[in-house]
């Protein structure tokens, strides 16, 4: 109704309330007559997302189901209508499956679902000129990555020390047995591309030092237990053990010894699980994709330099260094000359990558 003393002929009868019906103006009296209320659940408010309560008020809800319009994400608990309003619901537990990935912090992760991959790495050591292929077991769980915006990521990683590298260490220590190593330091540097800030991050092994057993068995000579015919028949043939006089494998780790006196055979690699990095903070570029890779420098391991990616160990009172970096070993076309080996960097296919912003839909 118009204010007292104000004629509706001048002001009209519109009250700007979506939940009432405007009356008609009587020119003689200047009063609005016939006003009423809209039925319950009539859409009202901005974008019609609110509803009328049947008493002339525009409210958030009359029943629980009407709260879905405010909180449509499938990764939220069902919202309840309390006092005609919809309070924010609790998020579903992280890891709950959803239509395009899994729930994380109340949002369906979509193309940013946690991803695990064995990222190729190349490792070198202070006791051998050769480079060895291995991998980093890496899991990255980012929040949605929007253009030119900040996002977080949780990283889990484990450093895989390859069998061939441990075998070289066992040979290098001969004739002193090397049943275990004491890890005095272990570290991985996780690098990113297409971020403006927040790279790199480091994860370490704790507690330290740790004694790690090297899986190995006694050297049986020929793999089949028979006399050898070629160098490849010898169990350490790739490390220089030769098939010599009378079909015997001479020792790869010293002249004049028999297989039973040679260095043991290493039967597997080692897995060193590193600490989890919770919520590392990054700033994304405006477009492209963010990729996570392993940084480091495998070419010249030095016990006197800080670790980027690799381990420091003590074996028989001597300090040894193993350094790794993302990539694969390229023997430069001369497999018998390890001194000229180099590392080919990982392409994005071998890294863990996520799009910046929602990827474009496929063409129709």
pLDDT in tens, 147-167: 999 999 999 999 999 898 898
pLDDT (average), residues 316-330 = 90
Q: pLDDT for 199-218, tens place per residue?
A: 899 999 989 999 999 999 88
Residue 359: alpha-carbon gap to chain centroid: 19
Question: 119 with 158: CB under 8 angstroms?
Answer: no
Q: Under DSSP, is residue 237 helix (H, G, I), strand (E, B) or coil?
A: helix
| 314: Cβ contacts below 8 Å, ≥ 6 apart | 181, 182, 184, 209, 320
Q: What is the pLDDT of residue 329?
A: 95
Asked if pLDDT for residue 220 goes beyond 90, the answer is no
Q: Is the torsion defined by CA of 105, 107, 108, 109 positive or negative?
A: negative
Q: What is the pLDDT of residue 277?
A: 95
Q: What is the pLDDT of residue 362?
A: 45
Asked if pLDDT for residue 71 goes beyond 80, the answer is yes
C-alpha to C-alpha distance for 169 and 167, rounded to whole angstroms: 5
Question: 175 with 190: CB under 8 angstroms?
Answer: no
Residue 9, H or E segment: helix 8-11
Q: Which residue has the higher pLDDT, 122 or 240?
A: 122
Q: pLDDT for 82-140, tens place per residue?
A: 999 999 999 999 888 887 777 877 878 888 888 999 999 999 998 888 899 999 999 99
Q: What is the pLDDT of residue 212?
A: 92
pLDDT (average), residues 247-273 = 77
C-alpha to C-alpha distance for 239 and 171, rounded to whole angstroms: 9
Q: What is the pLDDT of residue 169?
A: 86
Q: Rounded to 5 degrees, what angle do the CA atoms 159, 164, 170 make? A: 100
Q: Where in the chain is the domain with CATH 2.60.40?
A: 113-218+264-355
Q: What is the pLDDT of residue 364?
A: 44
| Beta-bridge mates of residue 217 | 265
Gyration radius (Cα) of the chain, Å:
35
Asked if pLDDT for residue 2 goes beyond 50, the answer is no
The DSSP string of 142-178 is: EPP--TT-EEEEEEEEEEEE-HHHHHHHHHHHTTS--
Q: pLDDT for 5-53, tens place per residue?
A: 567 776 777 777 889 887 788 777 777 876 788 899 999 987 778 999 9
Asked if pLDDT for residue 264 goes beyond 80, the answer is yes
- Tell me if the domain spanning 113-218+264-355 has CATH number 2.60.40: yes
C-alpha to C-alpha distance for 166 and 267, rounded to whole angstroms: 9
C-alpha to C-alpha distance for 103 and 93, rounded to whole angstroms: 7
C-alpha to C-alpha distance for 68 and 51, rounded to whole angstroms: 13
Q: Kindly report the average pLDDT of the chain as a whole number.
A: 86
Q: Which residue has the higher pLDDT, 318 or 344?
A: 344
Tokens 């496929």 found at: 362
Query: Is 220 exposed, middle or buried (CB count within 10 Å of its CB: 0-12, 13-18, 19+)?
Result: middle
> What distances in angstroms separate CA 185 from CA 134, 181, 300, one per listed residue?
18, 12, 17
């Amino acid at each position: 109704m118009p204010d007292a003393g104000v004629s509706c002929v001048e002001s009209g009868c519109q009250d700007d309330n979506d939940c009432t019906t405007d009356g008609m103006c009587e020119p003689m009296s200047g009063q609005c007559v016939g006003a009423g209320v809209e039925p319950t659940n009539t859409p009202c408010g901005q974008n019609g997302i609110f509803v009328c309560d049947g008493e002339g008020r525009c409210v958030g809800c009359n029943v629980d189901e009407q709260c879905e319009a405010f909180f449509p994400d499938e990764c939220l608990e069902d919202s309840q209508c309390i006092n005609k309003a919809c309070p924010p619901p609790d998020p579903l537990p992280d890891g709950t499956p959803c239509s395009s990935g899994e729930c994380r912090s109340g949002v369906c992760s979509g193309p940013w679902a946690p991803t695990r991959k064995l990222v190729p790495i190349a490792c070198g050591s202070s006791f051998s000129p050769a480079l060895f292929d291995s991998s980093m077991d890496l899991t990255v769980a980012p929040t949605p990555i929007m253009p030119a915006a900040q996002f977080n990521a949780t990283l889990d990683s484990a450093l895989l020390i390859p069998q061939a590298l441990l075998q070289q260490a066992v040979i290098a220590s001969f004739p002193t047995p090397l049943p275990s190593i004491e890890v005095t330091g272990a570290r991985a540097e996780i690098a990113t591309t297409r971020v403006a800030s927040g790279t790199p991050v480091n994860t370490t092994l704790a507690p330290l030092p740790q004694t790690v057993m090297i899986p190995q068995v006694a050297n049986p000579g020929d793999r089949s237990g028979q006399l050898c015919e070629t160098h490849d028949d010898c169990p350490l043939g790739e490390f220089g053990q030769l098939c010599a006089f009378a079909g015997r494998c001479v020792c790869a780790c010293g002249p004049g010894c028999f297989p039973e006196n040679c260095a043991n055979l290493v039967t597997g690699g080692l897995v060193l699980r590193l600490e989890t990095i919770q919520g590392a903070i990054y700033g994304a570029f405006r477009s492209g994709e963010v990729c996570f890779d392993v940084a480091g420098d495998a070419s010249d391991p030095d016990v006197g330099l800080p670790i980027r990616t690799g381990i420091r160990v003590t074996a028989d009172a001597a300090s040894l260094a193993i350094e790794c970096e993302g990539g694969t070993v390229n023997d430069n076309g001369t497999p018998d000359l390890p001194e000229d080996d180099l590392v080919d960097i990982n392409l994005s296919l071998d890294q863990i990558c996520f799009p910046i912003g929602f990827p474009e839909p496929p063409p129709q």
